[in-house]
Every structure is written in structure tokens, then in C-alpha cells.
A and B are shown apart, each in its own frame.
Chain A
Amino acid sequence: MAFTNEQLERYSRHIILKEVGAKGQKKLSQAKVLIIGAGGLGAPAALYLAAAGVGTIGIVDADEVDLSNLQRQVIHTTPDIGKPKVQSAKETMEAINPDVTVNTYHTFVTSENVLDLIKDYDFILDGTDNFPAKFLINDACVMAKKPFSHAGIIRFKGQLMTYVPGQGPCYRCVFKNPPPKDAVPTCKQAGVIGAMGGVIGSLQAMEAVKYIVGAGDLLTGYLLTFDALKMEWHKVKLPPDTSKCAVCGEHPTITELVDYEQAECDMKK
């Protein structure tokens, strides 16, 4: 597939980069990325991945756009209120870049559907807001040998890490098990500064693009944290020994996917 003149112009700032080039841009156009959650993290990630010309973008979310989402979920606009988030996200992505094919999945991720959702994709972005989903996505990606980006945001803080099979620890290596429901606050309970989704979600898109074009070093084996009040970044080296992990270790005890209980306050919309 050769680029049209219009595409050469659209992607010119990418193509001129030696780490991307026409070759990398072609890889992007052939890549398939799945974004789970069209919210604070998924919204900016989806915008950048669509703009970057990622050929196929899947987006999973069961919710409709709510007025309280618009403070940070920049892919949705005021007239989108009430619309499924996946539909609103698809419309915005297609408006940014008609080269992109957007697949929508208007559903929650569950132990029943997650493996099927991720199976056709090259890279997964976890933009979910709750620990049951985060552990489920991690375990599914480990079992299906899919690379993924974990991220979380709360108040003025954010974190992310990248898992690539065989190249370092998974989310469960670090965090073991979900905290009991309501033990650790979520965004709805604790609040989150809107631009944090932009900061961390954009970095998830960055990791996806780097993975696809094969540029630089990924956040495998590291947890990157950001404190916006102190304006401090901290890159924490994670213990490299994954052998004892319950899911990605040498003798996994988790061999089936688990639906953990959701925090009460997040069950109701």
C-alpha cells in the first residue's frame, strides 16, 4: 500500500522522524489497537491514536456520555450527552482521520468476553476506572500473550506501566490482588484533575505508537508516576523477577479469568 499525497501531508511530521519514517507510518496504518474505556484516559489516547493514523482502533465502553464526564473526557462534546461513549468516540475519531477504521464494543469487559475482545488486536490500552477490570485485563493479556499499557489516575496523581510478554513484570506482579472494594478510593469518590487524563492517556498512546513502530524503550519493568501538585515524575524500577507471579510466573495459580466484585459506589451509574 502506497501513501496518497494527502496521507503524505497528513503524516509528514511523523514521516520526517527517523524513528518513524514512511516505514513506521505504514506499520501504524496496519496496526490494531484496542482501547478499553472511553473515559478520562481512553479519550485522549483515542484522539492521538486516530490522529496518528493507527489503521484499526477498537473501543470498549458500556456507558453513555454524562455531563460530569465532559470535564476531562475530551473526545465527547456537550451534544453527545446521552449517546453511547463508544459511538461518540467513533464519530470524533472518524472526523479527525477518515483513514481510521473504528470498531465499537458497547459493553463492559468481563471474564466471558475479554479474550474475544482482545484477540484481534496488537496492543491493548487499559483506560478503565476500577480494579476488577484492571486485573481482568492484565490476566487476559498475560494469558493471550498481548502487550498492554496499564494506567491509573486519581486526584492530582497518575501512573502507568507497559507489559510486553516475556519482557518484564505484569500488573499483578506488582499489585498482587485487587484491594477490597471501597478500600482504595476511585475517581468518582476522590475526584481527578481533568488534565491528568490528558497527561497519562497521551503517554499510553505514546507507548502504543512506540511499540508499533519499534522506537526507543518502553515502560516495561518500570512504573512511571506523576504528581501534578509537586510537578514531579518518578520512574520506579520494578523487581525483575516474575517467577513467583500468580499469573505470569513459572507456576501460575491463576489459570482462569476472575470477575472480582466492583466497589459499591461504582456499580450504580
Chain B
Amino acid sequence: MKITVAGKIKEYDDGITVAKLVELENVETPEYVTVTVNDEFVESHDFANTTIKDGDTVEFLYFMGGGQA
């Protein structure tokens, strides 16, 4: 299936979960990433039981803390 991950079209196996995608995309600090699928938040406790479908759009939003000191 084809899905859009962080703005790029990618090919993944059907039935992949958010948890698996987080792993395959080498998401840094996966415990603290915010995930949206089709502009809706997926809570971290739902990563393992949320399946991504063909055509879905997935975004990873990261904490970025710097700026001042």
C-alpha cells in the first residue's frame, strides 16, 4: 500500500500498525513523539492497535526544546 509519511509517499505492507511504522521510520524518542493519522491524533497507548490503511497520511511531531540558552 502507499501512504504519505511526513509529506513523502512511501510503500509499506498492508495492515502495518502505527507502532510498527514508528519503528520502521526510526523515530527518535518514540515514547515522546506525537502522531497524527489523517489529521487526527493517535494516543501513544493506541499505537499498537491502530492500523494504517492505504492512502493514509501520517505525521510525526517532535518536541524541540531549544532556543534560548
Q: Which residues of A contact B (CB under 8 A)?
A: 37-42, 61, 63, 69, 126-131, 133-134, 151-154, 157-159, 174-176, 179, 183-188, 190, 192, 197, 200-201, 223, 234, 236-241, 266, 269
**Distance, CA A159 to CA B33, complexed state (A):** 14
Interface contact A184-B63, CB-CB below 8 Å: yes
Interface contact A187-B36, CB-CB below 8 Å: no
With contacts A128-B67, A152-B63, A153-B67 known, is A175 near B39, CB below 8 A? no
Q: What are 12 A-B pairs at a CB distance below 8 A?
A: A41-B68, A63-B68, A128-B67, A151-B67, A153-B64, A153-B67, A183-B32, A184-B32, A186-B66, A188-B69, A190-B66, A241-B40
Interface contact B65-A154, CB-CB below 8 Å: yes
Interface of B is mostly: loop
B3 → chain A, closest Cβ, in Å?
A: 15
In order of increasing CB-CB distance, the 3 nearest A-B pairs are A152-B64, A187-B66, A39-B68
With contacts A159-B62, A183-B31, A184-B29 known, is A42 near B36, CB below 8 A? no
With contacts A129-B69, A174-B34, A240-B39 known, is A183 near B64, CB below 8 A? no
Q: Which residues of B contact A (CB under 8 A)?
A: 6-7, 29, 31-32, 34, 36, 39-41, 59, 61-69
* Tally of contacts, chain A with chain B, CB under 8 A: 98
Instruction: With CB as the reference atom, state the residue of chain A lying closest to B44.
Output: A176
**Distance, CA A269 to CA B68, complexed state (A):** 12
A77 → chain B, closest Cβ, in Å?
A: 18
Apart from A129-B67, A134-B65, 12 more pairs, CB < 8 Å: A69-B69, A128-B68, A133-B68, A151-B67, A152-B63, A153-B64, A174-B61, A184-B32, A184-B65, A187-B67, A239-B39, A239-B40
Instruction: With CB as the reference atom, state the residue of chain B lying closest to A130.
Output: B65
The listed residue (B6, B29, B62, B67) touching A41 by CB distance below 8 A is B67
Interface contact B59-A236, CB-CB below 8 Å: yes
Instruction: With CB as the reference atom, state the residue of chain B lying closest to A184.
Output: B63
The listed residue (B61, B62, B66, B68) touching A61 by CB distance below 8 A is B68
Q: Residues of A contacting B32 with CB < 8 Å?
A: 179, 183-184
**Distance, CA A157 to CA B66, complexed state (A):** 10
A232 → chain B, closest Cβ, in Å?
A: 8
Instruction: With CB as the reference atom, state the residue of chain B lying closest to A263.
Output: B65
